[in-house]
Copies of this chain bind each other. A is one copy, B any other.
Amino acid sequence: MKANLAVVALVVAATWTLRAGSAPTAPPAAVATAPDYDPQGALVLPKDFREWVMVGGSLGLGYGDAPPAHEMFAHTLMEPAAYRHFVDTGSFREGTMFALVLQGTAESVLPARRGLFASTMHGVEMSVKDSSRPGVDKAGWAYYAFNGTSAALPRTAAPAPKNSCLNCHAEHARRDHVFIQFYPLLSEAAGDPTR
């Protein structure tokens, strides 16, 4: 089954490349992973999210007045085909997915004598631009929280209420609901540090 899927994927990719003719934009090295939903409309956690492109990292980043109970590292990963689309065009295409991977902190493990490193995974939060979904705003973004440690992440997550993520992203994101102000690697890769 795996082999068949791989062949299909490669044939699709090859077809895409050949159709693009002699002057394509940078071809995708991997076939895009599209968002997938269960019959109840919950987002299915993409199997390969760990291999997505890292665009941002932070420690203890908080949007509210109250300090968090536990300071955590957060790493933002982006689905590779959507990443390449943004680098080429500066826009987030339909199907764009981000995964914010939350990890605890650890210290004093040799040879490190100072500093903190990201330890156990405590959850994954995703944002997905998909205008075809019911209930999304005009720009198409919805937010999903997969709460659990690495070995016990739930398989699916229902869309979060608008006041939990969407409103703040709509108000503060520097570009189309995405906090690229925290993602200099993404802006730089797209050739424009001010994006």
Bound complex: CA of A11 vs CA of B54, how far in Å? 28
Q: Contacts of A22 on B, CB cut-off 8 Å?
A: 3
Chain A contacts with B in 156-187, Cβ cutoff 8 A: 168, 171-172, 179, 181-182, 184-185
B117 touches A57 (CB 8 A): yes
Bound complex: CA of A172 vs CA of B121, how far in Å? 24
Q: Contacts of A53 on B, CB cut-off 8 Å?
A: 50-51
Copies in the complex: 2
Contact segment of A37-45, A59-67, A90-98, A131-139: A59-67
Out of B50, B71, B110, name the residue touching A189 (CB < 8 Å). B50
We find that the number of chain A residues with CB closer than 8 angstroms to chain B is 70
**Closest residue of chain B to A58, judged by CB?**
B117
**Closest residue of chain B to A5, judged by CB?**
B27
A17 touches B24 (CB 8 A): no
Q: A24-B3, A29-B30, A168-B111 are in contact. Are A14 and B17 (CB under 8 A)?
A: no
In the complex, A69 has a CB within 8 A of chain B: no
B31 touches A3 (CB 8 A): no
**Closest residue of chain B to A116, judged by CB?**
B59
Distance (Å) between the CB of A59 and the closest chain B CB? 5
Residues of A within 8 A of B (CB): 2-3, 6-7, 9-11, 13-14, 17-18, 20-24, 26-27, 29-31, 48, 50-51, 53-54, 56-65, 67, 71, 73, 75, 77, 80, 83, 101, 103, 109-121, 150-151, 168, 171-172, 179, 181-182, 184-185, 188-189
6 more A-B contacts (CB under 8 A) besides A50-B185, A63-B113?
A29-B29, A30-B30, A51-B83, A57-B73, A103-B184, A121-B185
What are the 5 A-B residue pairs with the smallest beta carbon separation, nearest first? A60-B115, A61-B115, A54-B54, A58-B117, A6-B27
